[in-house]
Amino acid sequence: MSLALLFPGQGSQRCGMLGELPGSAAAQAVLDEARAWLDDHGLPANLDDEAVLRDTTAAQIALLITGVACARTLGDDYALRPQVVAGHSVGAFAAAVCAGVLTLPEALAAVALRGELMSAACAHGEWGMAAVIGLPTRAVGRLADRLHTELWVANVNTATQTVLAGSLTALRTAAGAAQAAGAADFTMLDVVVASHCPVQSDTARRMAEHLSRLPRRIPSVRYLTNTGGRAVRTADAVLDDLAESVARPVQWYDATRLAPELGVTCAVEVLPGHVLTRLNAVNAPSVLSLSLSDNGFERTSTLVRRMRD
């Protein structure tokens, strides 16, 4: 059996999610280390409060902390250590920590910078993202090209689920056009920035400069990239992906379809949510896909062990 850990991105955050973490020594150690870093940098420790989570930076840091705490609990308390890691958007930073490419403080600093730069890039105007369900990605891309100069394909999640990023004006126009073209659904996401598109080009450049100063550590497991949906095993490839993906579409469909070819037989999505589990069930039906939100740590570990045995 080969295990993949999946780390969700912004949009999956929810109020109180840090409080949902288990009371394990591993999770507590992550929380203590993160709170010390937050205190040193003048950031609030109550990142998962409803009002605080509206801030892009706070939401992304909270997702990072949650992801790392879950991964370490699975490893330390349940002996479930992955052979492959994949993170959707900001979830990739937790994946990079799990792979040993970044330390938690390095990831916290990088994600804090990323959130600040993303917010600054969208400070003028109103921006957002929306999921289009029921149309092929190519059709959604043509729709975006035809409709508006401030509208781009941002995530390719499945063959028929694509996320658009752009101005709210462009997204409102896209909603009607997508439904007229036969889309089953058009849903605005819980984000106030446009990510994975040219709006964030300067963010990607600044992130690359920041990450270039970090030590290079060989990944301990395979890391699936956002930018290409491929498996990499070098620090440079991981760090390049972390920098570039903020301005390029997330190729989640390709990444999850590749996983079975790498021998992955089971995928566990860490807290919070189960969006990636549902996407994985569509993209890689041969893989047993489980979410900690739906199953908890005990049941998840039991199901994984049954498959292993």
Q: Say yes or no to pLDDT of 217 above 90.
A: yes
DSSP 234: S
CATH number at residue 95: 3.40.366.10
- Is pLDDT above 80 for 175? yes
Looking at the chain, the whole-number percentage of residues with pLDDT higher than 90 is 92
Confidence of residue 148 (pLDDT cuts 50, 70, 90): confident
Q: Domain check: are 212 and 167 in the same one?
A: no
**Which residue among 196, 210, 274, 289 is the active-site one?**
196
Q: How far apart are CA 137 and CA 160, in angstroms?
A: 6
**Strand ranges across the sheet with 151-158:** 151-158, 161-167, 127-133, 185-188
Query: Catalytic: which of 12, 24, 89, 301?
Result: 89
pTM reported for the whole predicted model: 0.97
Distance CA 21, CA 27 (A): 7
**Residue 307 has what pLDDT?**
83
The reported pLDDT for the residue numbered 1 is 76
In tens, the pLDDT along 50-85 reads: 889 889 999 999 999 999 999 999 999 999 999 999
pLDDT for residue 309 is more than 80: no
For the segment 26-49, what is each residue's pLDDT rounded down to a tens digit? 999 999 999 999 999 998 888 989
Residue 265 has pLDDT above 80, yes or no: yes
Q: State yes or no: is 196 an active-site residue.
A: yes
pLDDT at 161 over 90: yes
User: Which CATH number covers residue 155?
Assistant: 3.30.70.250
Domain count, the chain: 2
47-79 burial, b if ≥16 CB within 10 A, otherwise e?
bbeeebbebbbbbbbbbbbbbbbbbbbbeebbe
Q: Is 89 a catalytic residue?
A: yes
One domain, residues 132 and 174:
yes
Residue 115 is part of which domain span?
3-121+198-308
Coil/strand/helix, residue 183: coil
Q: Could you tell me if residue 155 is inside a domain?
A: yes
Question: Does any domain span residue 93?
Answer: yes
Within a domain: 20:
yes
For the segment 96-130, what is each residue's pLDDT rounded down to a tens digit? 999 999 999 999 999 999 999 999 999 999 999 99
Last residue of a domain, one of 157, 188, 219: 188
Whether 81 and 217 map to the same domain: the answer is yes
